[in-house]
Amino acid sequence: MVKKKNPLKSFGFFLLILSIVAFSIFPFVQMLSLSLKYQWDWGNPSLIPRKINLEAYKELLNIGQDLKNVPESVLTLLDETPELTSLQRAAILSKYQSTGEVFPFLRYFGNSLLLSLSAALLSVCLAIFGAYSFSRLRYRGRSVIQRGVLFVYMFGGILLLIPLYRLFASMGLLSTPTGTFVGLLVVYMVQTLPVSLYMLGNYFRTVPFSLEEAAMLEGASRMGIIMKIIIPLSASAIATVYIYSFMIAWNEYLFASVFLKNYKMLYTLPIGLKTLFVSKNAIWDRIMSASMLTAVPVMALFMSIQNKITGGMAAGGVKE
């Protein structure tokens, strides 16, 4: 390459990169900044809070909430109205003391975590065997299965939502909380299964067949090969697919909003956040800190395996 360092050009290039980065991360910076601002600071366009406000985080994570004072006006109101029964008093006070009623973040977080972890686990377990089967073994119908998996990519959630809702409702699954939870789990597993199958299938084809042959000569069964050779050798790919499936389930809103409509206890984070936003308890700092806490686990997971997942996406995401 010919060396031609034009300072104006490199400055332009620097600006270009800066603007790409700014465009990508500005909403995150805005989110972080607003979650730390006091209400009187919202109108200030500067991203740096004049005074750091950690109340919203403490409230969501339930730190030090028992010590929080009930507003003075409410206390005086209680003093001035002696006709209230003690039960009513307790009810009024509890409104201010437990913010868990306003937005039980930890419960929603737990629901989301349980659903996503188990849906991804089920999907990956099924996909390991399925993908091994159509990437390694020869039988009639194998190419149909391989292509069918790709075809399923084209179905949007809305196409499956109405029939699955009808099916599950007529089976009586949606009339109990446990049934609803299981139904949603199954839906998430199904939604991530095709992607898992496809990505794992692509990876298994890169594992050298000679290893399997050697094991077979020594008398290993096919099942033994999967357990002792394929799974350990593909550990990183399996982890990647697991996290990918986890993220799909963690982000899902459409099915959760329809299935969980009547079970507030079972809300996942996306539907909980949306409900909070349209309710009268919507305050920017609370919403933004809840957003931060929803995003951070996924982004941290992603960053930890970033190099592998981007490679996996390049291999699995596009058919060339």
Partner 1 sequence: MRELKIRKPTLPHDPPPIALAGMNARALREQRFGWALVSPSVFIILALILYPVVYNIYLSFFEFKLTGDNIFVGLRNYVGVITDSEFHLAIRSTLVYVFFSTVGTTLLGLGVALVMNKKFPLRGFVRSLILLPYVAPVISVVFSWQFIFDPVNGIFMDVFHNKLGLFAERFSLIGSPDTAIWVAILFGIWKNFPFTYLMILSRLQAIDETLYEAAEVDGASGWQKFKSITLPEVYFVVSALILLRVIWNFNKFEEVYLLTSNVKVLSVYTYLKAFTGTMDLGQGSTLAVLQFVILIGFILFYVKKVLKW
Report 241-280 residues binding partner 1 (CB under 8 A).
247, 250-251, 253-254, 257-258, 269-270, 273-274, 277
Between CA 80 and CA 74 the distance in angstroms is: 10
Q: Does 218 bind partner 1 (CB under 8 A)?
A: no
Site for partner 1 contains 190 (CB under 8 A):
yes
**Three-state SS at 219:** coil
**Cβ closest to partner 1, residue 241 vs residue 288:** 288
Rank residues 190 and 239 by Cβ distance to partner 1 and give the closer one. 190
- Separation between Cα atoms, residue 157 and residue 191, nearest integer Å: 9
Number of residues that make up the chain = 320
Give the residue among 286, 299, 270, 300 at the shortest CA–CA distance from 57: 286
Which member of 193, 199, 260, 266 binds partner 1 (CB under 8 A)? Answer: 193
Tokens of 203: 């990876």
Q: How far is CA 108 from CA 38, 122, 174, 180, 295, in A?
A: 25, 21, 19, 15, 14
Contact stretch for partner 1 (CB under 8 A) within 19-27, 52-60, 92-100, 233-241: 19-27
**Other Cβ atoms within 10 Å of 10 Cβ, number:** 10
∠ at Cα 206 (202, 210), nearest 5°? Answer: 140
| Window of 21-29, 71-79, 90-98, 174-182 that interacts with partner 1 by CB under 8 A | 21-29
- Using CB under 8 A, which of 115, 120, 173, 187 touches partner 1? 187
Three-state DSSP class for 202? helix
What residues between 59 and 78 interact with partner 1 by CB under 8 A? none
> Is 31 one of the binding residues for partner 1 (CB under 8 A)?
yes
When binding is defined by CB under 8 A, the residue of 152, 185, 239, 283 that contacts partner 1 is: 152
CB of 180 to partner 1, least distance (A): 15
Residues in 222-241 at the binding interface with partner 1, rule: CB under 8 A = 222
Q: Is 310 in the site for partner 1 (CB under 8 A)?
A: yes
Q: How far apart are CA 124 and CA 1, in angstroms?
A: 47
